[in-house]
Amino acid sequence: MAARGGQSYGFPIYCAAWLPLAHIVNPDPPATDADADAASSSPPPPPMAALGGGGGEGRSGVPNKLVVAALDPAAAAGEEAALSPEAVVEVNTEEEVPYRMAVHPRGDGVVCAFPNGCRLYRWESQEGDEPRNLALEADQEALAELTDVGLQLAVSFSGEGSILATGGEDGHLRVFKWPALESVLTEADIKTSIKDLSFSTDEKFLAVNRSSGPCKVWDLLSSEVVANLPREAGEIFGFCRFSNKTDNSNVLFIAAMQGDYWKIISWDTTSWTRVGSKKITREAISAFAVSPDGALLAIGTIEGTVIVLGSKDMRTLITVKKAHLGIVTTLGFSQDSRTLLSTSFDSTARVTSVGSPKSNGSNVWPMILVIILAILVYYCMQHKAELLAILPR
């Protein structure tokens, strides 16, 4: 049974991401002005998302697979957006379940993390360049450096796709230039596993959270550690995400558990000092995302709740209780920051509209109140005599 608004795909979903369709479908610019006019006149394809998961090894009867699903145009035009139940692409991954994925932002393919290592799936076009003619084919020659390295708990491309980073359950951090796979840095710490990692939007820094210790920030140019962000008493760091601000600088957000609460901490990326902290929920955070424009944060919990926050004041804008009937495994904002994808062990993928990221209703009521007050003041000034006459003496 799917939670309200969720689309079920018949297998536990561990990982998901929106696809950069503009780079996948049309990797090269139109050759002529006529081609450009034809491209601009055709309607854009509906957004699509890649989903990965399954039942794992054994004979559970639940397949392991990768699925690409499109946003249903009919549902998007109605009251509630949803992914289509029909898959555009479906790839059976046999006995291996994809636990993590990273979609290349320029269309080079999808890197999936399996229990024994990583594999690259490249986009292929079966008949023409229409999105529904796409296919995913495993590239057996690629990612030799990430074969037989064990489960990678974190896999991510930098914003422009020029760097790939993976963090292993065995504590091994690997960072490569893409697509040459030349090593940028490596660190092995067998005492800890890597929980999460995040690139800054300018591709200068990489933040890495491990199962214990501080959040370590690497300078990708020098391959040196530039900051060790300490935990306060009782804190346990979880997810980390860089986000851009309006002045094009960055801020680093870390989701951390302290006592009975999970909170979000913000860090200045020049001084590497804490600049904010706010308790968010008592439910354990199982997924964390930042919108591409930096205006929104989203968290998912083990209870199936999805919460959207404003990044400046961390004020709650949207709460969807029981968005899923199981643990929220992945969150991802669309490129325009207006749609949030969430997935779960309950086999569902849900699409939540977050409206206009620049306002999200946060400034609507204050503006309305100011307008009403101005109207009242104007009315009182225009009818001062009449109002004085009816006042009790």
pLDDT band for position 81 (cuts 50, 70, 90): confident
pLDDT classification of 91: cutoffs 50, 70, 90: very high
Identify residue 116 by its one-letter amino acid code. N
What is the domain-level CATH number for residue 289?
A: 2.130.10.10
User: Quick one: average pLDDT of 336-342?
Assistant: 95
- Tell me, yes or no, whether 388 and 250 share the same domain: no
pLDDT at position 177: 97
Is 206 a domain residue? yes
Is 80 exceeded by the pLDDT of residue 392?
no
**Is pLDDT of 4 > 60?**
no
- Return the pLDDT at 28: 54
On whether both 277 and 391 belong to a single domain, the answer is no
Could you tell me if residue 138 is inside a domain?
A: yes
- Asked if residue 357 has pLDDT above 90, the reply is no
Asked which of 90-104, 151-165, 245-259 is least confident by mean pLDDT, the reply is 245-259
Q: How many domains does the structure of the chain reveal?
A: 2
pLDDT given for residue 57 in this prediction? 77
Residues forming beta bridges with residue 7, ordered by sequence position? 349
**pLDDT over 70 (residue 366):** no
Domain hosting residue 393, numbered range: 364-393
Q: Cβ(37)–Cβ(99) under 8 Å?
A: no
83 belongs to a structural domain: yes
338 and 192 inside one domain: yes
> Could you tell me if 261 and 377 lie in one domain?
no
In a domain, 381, yes or no: yes
Residues 346 and 375 in one domain: no
Residue 190 is predicted with a pLDDT of 86
- Asked whether residue 102 falls in the same domain as residue 208, the answer is yes
Average of pLDDT values for 295-317?
97
Residue 1 falls inside a structural domain: no
Whether 233 shows a pLDDT value over 50: the answer reads: yes
Tell whether 173 and 225 lie within a shared domain: yes
Q: What is the mean pLDDT of the chain?
A: 87
Each residue of 168-216: pLDDT tens digit? 999 999 999 999 999 999 999 989 999 999 999 999 999 999 999 999 9
Residues 153 and 283 reside in one and the same domain: yes
Q: Are residues 249 and 368 in the same domain?
A: no
Residue at 331 is within a domain: yes
Whether residue 191 sits in one domain with residue 76: yes
Is the confidence at residue 359, as pLDDT, over 50?
Answer: no
Rounded to whole angstroms, the Cα distance separating 333 from 233 reads 32
| Statement to judge: residues 162 and 268 lie in one domain | yes
Looking at the fold, whether 233 and 90 belong to one and the same domain comes out as: yes
Residue 79 lies in a domain: yes
Highest mean pLDDT among 129-133, 206-210, 386-390: 206-210
